[in-house]
Structure 1
Amino acid sequence: MSDSSDQSAESGGLTPEQRLEPPNSRLINAGIVTIHDMETLRACVAYENANQQRVRILRRLEQRASEIRSQDN
């Protein structure tokens, strides 16, 4: 499953594949919005780069990263 149960709990228990491969874009957006930590976000970026490489999804992940960084300040 995941490397640690703490990471799974932090990310809502969803894998990058579950977040980025649902049947419609609304669910993908929901999966991205529910990312609350940079570790999960990086895992999703790595997954997307290794698989689909969809520019729209990568841009949305980049936007979410900016949102997370601004919340940390």
Structure 2
Amino acid sequence: MWRRPGVSDTGEHDPNSSELSPEQRLDPPNTRLINAGIATINDMETLRACVAYENDHQQRVQILRRLDDRASELRSDDT
């Protein structure tokens, strides 16, 4: 069964959400789950892995744009 990324069985935030693979983040059955997978990316290393995965596989412009937006958010959080 699919679970919302970053949330444990008890509904609490899971600090290990970065352990999701790029495939798990970007290939769920619907766009809401993809958006959730992208929204829970908390570091640039994970984001880069997702960009590389998308470039190697489907190359969906809309997904790459969302990943770019998330990168901008992460950069602004670091400042």
Fold agreement, TM-score > 0.5: yes
Give the superposition deviation at 1:50: 0.1
- Scaled by the length of structure 2, the TM-score of the pair is 0.79
Task: Please tell me the residue identity of whatever aligns with 2:69.
Answer: Q
Correspondence 1:71 to 2:77:
yes
- Scaled by the length of structure 1, the TM-score of the pair is 0.85
* Alignment partners' CA distance in 1, 2:78 and 2:17: 15
Correspondence 1:39 to 2:45:
yes
Judging changes above 3 Å, is the alpha-carbon distance between structure 1 residues 67 and 48 closer, same or farther for their aligned structure 2 residues?
Answer: same
- Cα RMSD of the aligned pairs, angstroms, is 0.9
Task: Please tell me the residue identity of whatever aligns with 1:38.
Answer: M
* Alignment partners' CA distance in 2, 1:60 and 1:10: 18
Of 47, 53, 59, which aligns to 1:53? 59
* Alignment partners' CA distance in 2, 1:24 and 1:14: 17
* Alignment partners' CA distance in 1, 2:62 and 2:28: 15
Identify, as 1 or 2, the structure richer in helix: 1
Q: Secondary structure at the match of 2:59?
A: coil
Q: Paired residues, what number?
A: 64
Task: Please tell me the residue identity of whatever aligns with 2:30.
Answer: N
Which consecutive segments of 4 or more residues in structure 1 shift more than 3 A? none
